[in-house]
Amino acid sequence: MIDAVLVVLTKAVPGREADMEDWYSNIHIRDALRFRGSVTAQRFRLAGEQPCPPEGFDWQYLALYDVFDPVRFSREHLDNALTSRMQVSAAIDDSLLYDFHYYPLLFQDNDPDVGHSGGVILEELNPPADSDEHFRRFYAENDFREAAVRPGVKSAAFLTFRTFGQMIPMTPDHRYVAIYRINDPAAALEAWRGADTLLATSGLLQPDGIRITQWDRATPRLTKDDVQHPTAVGLAEEERARAHMGDRVRTGGAEKLAMR
C-alpha cells in the first residue's frame, strides 16, 4: 500500500557528476530503503532532449520513492542524515533542497503485465490557491485522461502536496505533480511536445505554473527487499562505492532539515 511518493530533485557539484551518481545509486537509495516507511526507489537523469524545454532549469537528477508511512520515513531521515547510517557525499550540491512527499489522487496502469523499463515524464502544476477543486476536476477529466494513454506511456499518477509528513520546512514551487512512467521515450517526447502551452491555455494555472520535464532511467527500481537481502553483485557494488567515497562526505547542513 503506497501512501505517498517522495519526489527528489538533485544536482552535482560541477565536475563531480560521476561521484554523485555513484554515491546516490549505490549508497544513498540503499540507505534510505533500509529506513522504515519506504517501499521502493528509482533514479532518473534529465533527458538530453526535452518536449517542453524549461527555462532556467538546472536540476540534473530525479529520484522517486514509494512510501507507505511518510511521517516515519521523514523522521528516519532527520534522525540519521549526516551520520554513519546515512553519509552524504560531498559531490552533491546541497545549496537548495527539493524533496517533497506528494499524495495520490489518481492512478492508471495501462498494462499491469508489462514492467516499466524506461523513464518518466514529470508534470509539475500550480493552480491559484482558490481554484484547487476546479483544477483537480478539470485535470482529472481532461489532461490526465488524455495523457495517460499517449504513445509510450506505461502508467500515470496524479498527486497533490500536503504539509503532512514533509521533511523540510518549505512549500514546493508546484503543489501538484503528474508522473507518467514511459516505456518508449521517443514516442513520449513527441506526444508531449507543446503540452505546456496547451495546459497554460486552460486558464487554471498560475503564470509560470507549469513545468514539464522528461527523464531517462538511471537505475532499476529497487525494493526494500533488494537492499535488506542483497545479491552478491549488489553488495559488492555498495562496498566498492563506499570505499571510493571514503571520507569525502558532508558533515554539516542538518539545520536545513526540520519537521513543520
- CB 56, CB 227: distance < 8 Å: no
Q: Is the pLDDT of residue 61 over 60?
A: yes
Instruction: Determine phi and psi for 233, rounding to 5 degrees.
Output: -65, -45
The pLDDT value recorded for residue 260 is 30
Instruction: Determine phi and psi for 102, rounding to 5 degrees.
Output: -120, 145
The pLDDT value recorded for residue 259 is 34
Taking residues 250-257, what's their average pLDDT? 67
The pLDDT value recorded for residue 90 is 95
Taking residues 35-61, what's their average pLDDT? 95
Q: Which residue has the higher pLDDT, 255 or 226?
A: 226
pTM, entire model: 0.95
Mapped onto helix, strand or coil, the DSSP state of residue 232 is helix
The pLDDT value recorded for residue 254 is 60
Taking residues 211-220, what's their average pLDDT? 98
Q: Which residue has the higher pLDDT, 1 or 120?
A: 120
Positive or negative CA dihedral for 65, 67, 72, 74? positive
Instruction: Determine phi and psi for 79, rounding to 5 degrees.
Output: -80, -25
CA separation for the pair 260, 255 (Å, rounded): 13
Question: E strands, the chain, where?
Answer: 4-10, 38-46, 61-67, 98-109, 120-125, 153-161, 176-182, 210-217, 222-223
Q: Is the pLDDT of residue 255 over 60?
A: no
Q: Is the pLDDT of residue 236 over 90?
A: yes
Q: Is the pLDDT of residue 55 over 80?
A: yes
CA separation for the pair 115, 122 (Å, rounded): 19
Average pLDDT across the chain, whole number: 93
- CB 37, CB 73: distance < 8 Å: yes
Smallest CA-to-CA distance from 254 within 26, 81, 40 is with 81
The pLDDT value recorded for residue 195 is 95
Q: Is the pLDDT of residue 226 over 50?
A: yes
**Which DSSP string do the residues of 56-115 spell out, in sequence order?**
T----EEEEEEES-HHHHHHHHHHHBTSTTB--BTTB--SS-EEEEEEEEEEEES-TTS-
The pLDDT value recorded for residue 136 is 96
Give percent of the chain with pLDDT exceeding 90: 85
Q: Each residue of 105-161: pLDDT tens digit?
A: 999 999 999 999 999 999 999 999 889 999 999 999 999 999 999 999 999 999 999
The pLDDT value recorded for residue 251 is 85
Taking residues 173-178, what's their average pLDDT? 96
Read off the C-alpha cell for 201.
491555455
